[in-house]
Amino acid sequence: MDYLKIFAPATVANVSCGFDSLGFAVDAIGDEMTFTKTTEKGVKITNITGADLTYNVDENAASAVVKKVLNDANAEFGIELTIHKGFSPGSGLGSSAASAAGAAFGANQLLGNIYSDLELTKFAMFGEEVACGTPIADNVSAAVYGGFVLVRSYHPLEIIKLPVPSELRVVAIHPQVEVKTKDAREVLPTQIALKNAVTQWANVGGLISGLYSNNYELISNSLVDIIVEPHRKKLIPHFDDVKNAAIKAGALGAGISGSGPTIFALCKGDEVAEKVYKNIEESYKNTGIEFTMFISKVNHEGMKIIKSL
């Protein structure tokens, strides 16, 4: 294989109760990336569209990951890389994670698929560190593995792929406001009450159990965040209005995607998802803030090969 074009999905992280430990991939939006083998070693970005990102190979999350993968494999070839961003950086939908995970996947394919998903996640975490300063695994592992994932441990890294009920849908709204990850981290408490911790980890257990048992009521009851959301929602204009509109229309639950500003709602079935979409849209259209929205299935497979030669 000398050429590859892939789709790298956007992701929702935290999923209400699962701060820094739960995430899932979406089907509707993501990046498209191409990888072309070159006889000259090294990495070169030849084109970036859809966002204003650096062409510096050591500062761009995607090229930094490709470089690390090739160096680790002692590759006898180089790669020319193009990136088309299908959604905005800073959206809370894993923009840098899609680039980093896609880069690891694409480079691995040209190497003959020599690395496991866990190893690809580690490479992609390096890209997150380049982009954001912290090697967080929730977004990148969801993009690599697809579906729902649980980051059970960082030391050593352990990723658990969780089942996804067939009727589960996600509706998301991305208000065009900026929420810096640094700010979203700084508003979080450094200590929490034990009773709140018990409630939170019980909800994580309930959500995972609901995914395994296709129990939508249990999923709904567990999509509650009493630790992070109360502090971060203040950074997102009209958050409560959106959440209430989603629940009123039949959503299982709603919360902040990543560090925001995107707000997601999980729904059972296409019909409910359409109602939730319309209700959220109606709740936000007179705020004076521009926004984009989408409905999506959960992306079960993660990366998708669009074309290979």
Identify the CATH number of the domain in which residue 284 sits: 3.30.70.890
Residue that is last in its domain, among 145, 163, 181 = 163
Residues 153 and 286 in one domain: no
The domain boundary, picked from 95, 130, 163, lies at 163
In a domain, 58, yes or no: yes
**Range of the structural domain that residue 56 is part of:** 3-163
| CATH code of residue 25 | 3.30.230.10
In degrees and rounded to multiples of 5, residue 184 shows phi and psi of -65, -30
pLDDT tens readout for residues 126-166: 999 999 888 999 999 999 999 999 999 999 999 999 999 99
Give the chain as a DSSP string: --EEEEEEEEEEESTTT-TTTEEEEEEEEEEEEEEEEESS-EEEEEEEESS-----TTTSHHHHHHHHHHHHTT-SSEEEEEEE-SS-TTSSS-HHHHHHHHHHHHHHHHTTS-S-HHHHHHHHHHHHHHHHSS---HHHHHHHH-SEEEEEEETTEEEEEE---TTEEEEEEEES----HHHHHHTS-S---HHHHHHHHHHHHHHHHHHHHT-HHHHHHH---SSSHHHHGGGSTTHHHHHHHHHHTT-SEEEE-TTSS-EEEEEESHHHHHHHHHHHHHHHTTSS--EEEEEEEB-SS-SEEEEE-
Residue tagged 């500003």 (tokens): 261
Q: Residue 128 catalytic?
A: yes
pLDDT at 162: 98
Domain co-membership, 26 together with 64: yes
Task: Look at residue 185 in the predicted model and tell me its pLDDT.
Answer: 85
Exactly one of 121, 181, 229, 262 is catalytic; which is it?
181
Query: Does residue 66 sit in the same domain as residue 80?
Result: yes
Q: What is the pLDDT of residue 60?
A: 97
In terms of domains, do 64 and 201 share one? no
Residue 20 confidence (pLDDT) = 92
Judgement on whether residues 110 and 221 belong to the same structural domain of the protein: no
Q: How far apart are CA 246 and CA 265, in angstroms?
A: 7
| C-alpha distances out from residue 112 to 2, 43, 188, 191, Å | 11, 18, 43, 47
Query: Are the beta carbons of 87 and 7 closer than 8 angstroms?
Result: no
Please check whether residues 53 and 156 belong to one and the same domain. yes
If asked whether residues 207 and 283 sit together in one domain, one would say: yes
Q: Which of 108, 128, 163 is the last residue of a domain?
A: 163
User: Distance between CA 295 and CA 303 in Å, rounded?
Assistant: 19
Residue type, 71: N
Contact 111, 73 (CB under 8 A): yes
**Residue 303 lies inside a defined structural domain of this protein:** no
What CA–CA distance (Å, rounded) separates 6 from 179?
29
Peptide linkage before 261 cis (omega within 30 of 0) = yes
Amino acid 180: pLDDT: 79
Same domain, 110 and 182: no
**Residue of 11, 34, 121, 128 marked catalytic:** 128
The number of folded domains in the chain is 2
Chain centre distance of CA 274:
22
How does pLDDT run across 199-242, given as a tens digit for each residue? 999 999 999 999 999 999 999 999 999 999 999 999 999 999 99
Is residue 306 situated within a structural domain? no
User: pLDDT (tens digit, 0 to 9) for every residue of the chain, 309 residues total?
Assistant: 999 999 999 999 999 999 999 999 999 999 999 999 999 999 999 999 999 999 999 999 999 999 999 999 999 999 999 999 999 888 999 999 999 999 999 999 999 999 999 999 999 999 999 998 889 999 999 999 999 999 999 999 999 999 999 999 999 999 999 887 778 889 999 999 999 999 999 999 999 999 999 999 999 999 999 999 999 999 999 999 999 999 999 999 999 999 999 999 999 999 999 999 999 999 999 999 999 999 999 999 999 999 999
148 and 182 belong to one structural domain? no
Angle CA 258–261–264, to nearest 5: 65
Q: What is the pLDDT of residue 16?
A: 97
Q: Looking at the structure, do residues 141 and 284 belong to the same domain, yes or no?
A: no
